[in-house]
Structure 1
Amino acid sequence: MLPLEKVLRDPIHDYIYIKHQVILDLINTREFQRLRRIKQLGTTNYTFHSAEHSRFTHSVGVYEITRRICDLFARNYATKTQGDGGWDDNERLVALCAALLHDVGHGAYSHTFEHIFETDHEEMTRTIITSEDTQINAVLKQVAPDFPKKVASVIAKTYPNPQVVQMISSQIDADRMDYLLRDSYFTGANYGTFDLTRILRVMRPSKNGIVFEYSGMHAVEDYIISRLQMYQQVYFHPVSRSMEVILGHLLKRAKDLYLAGKLPQDFAAELLRPFFEKDLTLANYLRLDDGILNTCFENWRTAKDPILSDLAQRFLDRQPLKSVRVTEKQTALLPKLAALVTNSGYDANYYTATNDSFNLPYALYDSKAKINLIQPNGELEELSEVSPLVKAVTDKELGDERFFFPKQMLGTPEEQQEIFQPYYQEFLQHIKNDRLI
């Protein structure tokens, strides 16, 4: 324990209290400090300009919510006999460390980068925790030689105590609760707000994990609907997805040029070489952050390759692609539209894309992930069985599929006549006829 608790000032949780030396030491490691340089929401700041918060701020927020849960459980539901389903406060430190470190493996621009270079942030998180080459591992080993493996097993959801796992990874956990509130605050959207205080108050440990008092059902409903709305209104916003498409195509073009021996041999190529060649070390991975990639993109702005240069400019200067919603019946039209874009002078491999974004507001696919309500008599009821509101969205994928294309395909009449005839008119006719916009 620290001789005097430390605090971090936070716009969501007011104060984040640090009471263990190991937590403070973990925050001060180079691997955790790197999270300051990785945006929590990737390209969303191109749509919601104030969404500049980092994985660092989110991670300490998840730690704080987990700390509050541990305090509540220790105060009200401490175990009295083995197997009674109460909270054993000896689990506190592993829970707090796992909460703090759950996102430490996220790479630059997170999910888009992962898709192009086939990395896995959860696997990287476990590697950072267990590798003897990291400062995080050295700090955790000061607790016990096997402590890093324990923390990593919480991330992997194999830790034997389901209460600890579900605090950090379930359908209503510290991770999701923090990012909904935090992302709502920093985007300026109010869709993600819910009564965190009430939800924490009605949480209880049980033999199989975590349950919620029946009297708190409406607070849990509010959380489920808030999550649904954040996905539909913020996380799936077409402009943010468009910028992700451009980012993905930009990295893909750089990779294709490198493999063809045509990428300029500069610092950008050297930093990304291990990813291009799939010869990756942990040190290579940890060198990258959003700022490093942005510097690479600025360098590529003046590249001789016109596609690389143009995509870099589009990303840096916020020039999103246009998009139209696609239904299942219209999927057969997409190759035709891509061909028209190519005929108009754009390489469809880099200037068109189909992107689908769907989310399950509440799912019953995994019995361990269900949200259970506990009655005063101790009986458990699954949330959707007693909540008509939650039942209405249970196991229903919500979202859409969109086709992305250059804005110039919807150009001015002069551009239509001079550049895109006859391809432009045919493209526009298809879109209008099929009600894609």
Structure 2
Amino acid sequence: MTTYALQKLAEEKVFKDPVHRYIHVRDQVIWDLVGTREFQRLRRIRQLGTTYLTFHGAEHSRFNHSLGVYEIVRRIVDDVFASRPEWDHSERLLCLCAALLHDLGHGPFSHSFEKVFDLDHENFTQEIILGQTEVNRVLTKVEPDFPQKVADVIAKTYENKQVISLISSQIDADRMDYLQRDAYFTGVSYGHFDMERILRVLRPLDDQVVIKSSGMHAVEDYIMSRYQMYWQVYFHPVTRSSEVILTKILHRAKELSSQGYEFAYEPRHFKSMFTGNVTLKDYLNLDESVVTYYFQMWEDEKDPILRDLCDRFMQRRLFKYVEFDPSKEYKKLNQLEQLFKEAELDPDYYLVVDSSSDLPYDFYRPGEEEERVPIHLLMPGGEIKELSRQSEIVDAISGKRRTDHKLYYPKDCLLDDSTHKETKQKILDILGVTER
């Protein structure tokens, strides 16, 4: 490595943080990366997308979270692993950079945006790291192949699996930060667990990071915390309603563009997204402030669907929902689609089935899609045992996927009986909506 890689700041920099109290930066490389335009862009990408429309405090950003992940990894490699012979200390800077940059490629409203335009934020993260960017210039100063190493860690292809497991595993710095940070900013109590205890019992071993068996109960608490956060916050039905509307806005704008529609306010920032020819520059020019500005402008569009959906999102007039099982109620869905058309409500935009699914913990199942490296416990005699084999709590939920389905619709439109009164009443009856 070059002397730049070893360079320390004349004075340590600190970020005051509500989760970790302080985030410490001593390395010149890390300080320079934080100052790049690509990393600063993360200030304008919310960590939880549209969740702020459900939990009003959820305004924190990917910038906050990325610093938090960096701080957890810094504590592990500088404090917990510092005296461990099983740990390769030359990997320290690589771990810190990968932790800091792991979410660099997230776009506005992240996952909803990716679904509509068939994008992958991890691919963009690697492209930013390897492309003609300020981030790449900083990393290249460490050594010519250093950007590729960082990209490999994020892609989970790096040869040292210990490094990967710190950033991406079933108990990693990423999850440990976002669970606590998201709980703090949403105001819920579900995401709290004893991170200090978990950090104390982490151990590097062979090609993985394991947990001393004495810390098993702290890990149980962490897994249950994750389970609760997914169902109480991340999959909250109101948040999913706002994501449905957001997704439909983007679909509508894309469809109108393909039809040659003349927008009153031309969506030039979306042009390459609509055509599928997205350059890195196009992607980095989009953030949530830009997207919401277009939504605000489109509240005055002449297309009634785009206009209405944008107004709903900006003014928080969200869709209502009912429980719905698409595998058993597909006939009901077909009937509703026909009735929506008769009521002059386009079912493609106003009748939406949304499904959420989560697998809290799983053990290694060779050959299956998305193979998961399990959490291993280091027993007092040096034996390694998979977590669910020792914990009855974890065993009870291992491999059990929970799925939830909701049917979203604009209740306000159905209660407006100025037109198609009988048809709308039929829809309400099928949906089981009694109050008017």
TM-score range, shorter chain: over 0.9
> In the alignment, what sits opposite 1:82?
none
Separation (CA, whole Å) in 2 of partners of 1:97 and 1:58: 14
Match of 1:20 among 10, 23, 27: 27
Separation (CA, whole Å) in 2 of partners of 1:273 and 1:210: 44
Count of aligned pairs: 421
The answer to whether structure 1 residue 163 and structure 2 residue 155 are counterparts is no
The letter for the 2-side match of 1:356 is S
1:20-45 deviations in whole A, cap 9, x for unaligned? 10000000000000000010000000
1:269 Cα deviation from its structure 2 partner:
1.6
> In the alignment, what sits opposite 2:152?
153
> In the alignment, what sits opposite 2:55?
48
> In the alignment, what sits opposite 1:109?
109
1:90 Cα deviation from its structure 2 partner:
0.6
Separation (CA, whole Å) in 2 of partners of 1:296 and 1:45: 19
Q: Quick check: 2:81–2:203 contact (8 Å CA) kept in 1? A: no
Q: Which moved more, 1:23-32 or 1:384-393?
A: 384-393
The answer to whether structure 1 residue 277 and structure 2 residue 281 are counterparts is no
Q: TM-score, normalised by structure 2?
A: 0.94
Separation (CA, whole Å) in 1 of partners of 2:262 and 2:198: 52
Identity of aligned residues (%): 51
Separation (CA, whole Å) in 2 of partners of 1:61 and 1:263: 44
Q: Secondary structure at the match of 1:204?
A: strand
> In the alignment, what sits opposite 2:64?
57
Separation (CA, whole Å) in 1 of partners of 2:419 and 2:201: 63
Separation (CA, whole Å) in 2 of partners of 1:363 and 1:344: 46
Distance change (3 Å), C-alpha of 1:126 and 1:7: same
1:102-124 deviations in whole A, cap 9, x for unaligned? 00000111111111111110000
> In the alignment, what sits opposite 2:122?
122
The answer to whether structure 1 residue 98 and structure 2 residue 115 are counterparts is no
The letter for the 1-side match of 2:282 is N
> In the alignment, what sits opposite 2:391?
387
1:96-147 deviations in whole A, cap 9, x for unaligned? 000000000001111111111111100000000001x100000000100000
Separation (CA, whole Å) in 1 of partners of 2:363 and 2:99: 24
> In the alignment, what sits opposite 1:378?
382
1:335 Cα deviation from its structure 2 partner:
2.0
1:3 Cα deviation from its structure 2 partner:
2.3
> In the alignment, what sits opposite 1:39?
46
> In the alignment, what sits opposite 1:317?
315
1:399 Cα deviation from its structure 2 partner:
3.5
Superposition pairs for residues 247-258 of structure 1, below 5 Å? 247-258=246-257
The answer to whether structure 1 residue 192 and structure 2 residue 191 are counterparts is yes
Q: Quick check: 1:303–1:309 contact (8 Å CA) kept in 2? A: yes
1:324-382 deviations in whole A, cap 9, x for unaligned? 11123223321222222222221111112111101000012457610000111100111
Give the unaligned 5+ runs of structure 2: 1-7, 366-370
Distance change (3 Å), C-alpha of 1:257 and 1:9: same
1:75 Cα deviation from its structure 2 partner:
3.0
Give the unaligned 5+ runs of structure 1: 80-85
Distance change (3 Å), C-alpha of 1:314 and 1:409: closer
1:218 Cα deviation from its structure 2 partner:
0.4
Q: Quick check: 2:363–2:386 contact (8 Å CA) kept in 1? A: no
> In the alignment, what sits opposite 2:73?
66
Q: Quick check: 1:194–1:226 contact (8 Å CA) kept in 2? A: yes
Separation (CA, whole Å) in 2 of partners of 1:174 and 1:203: 12
Q: Quick check: 1:242–1:321 contact (8 Å CA) kept in 2? A: yes
1:419 Cα deviation from its structure 2 partner:
3.2
Separation (CA, whole Å) in 2 of partners of 1:321 and 1:431: 13
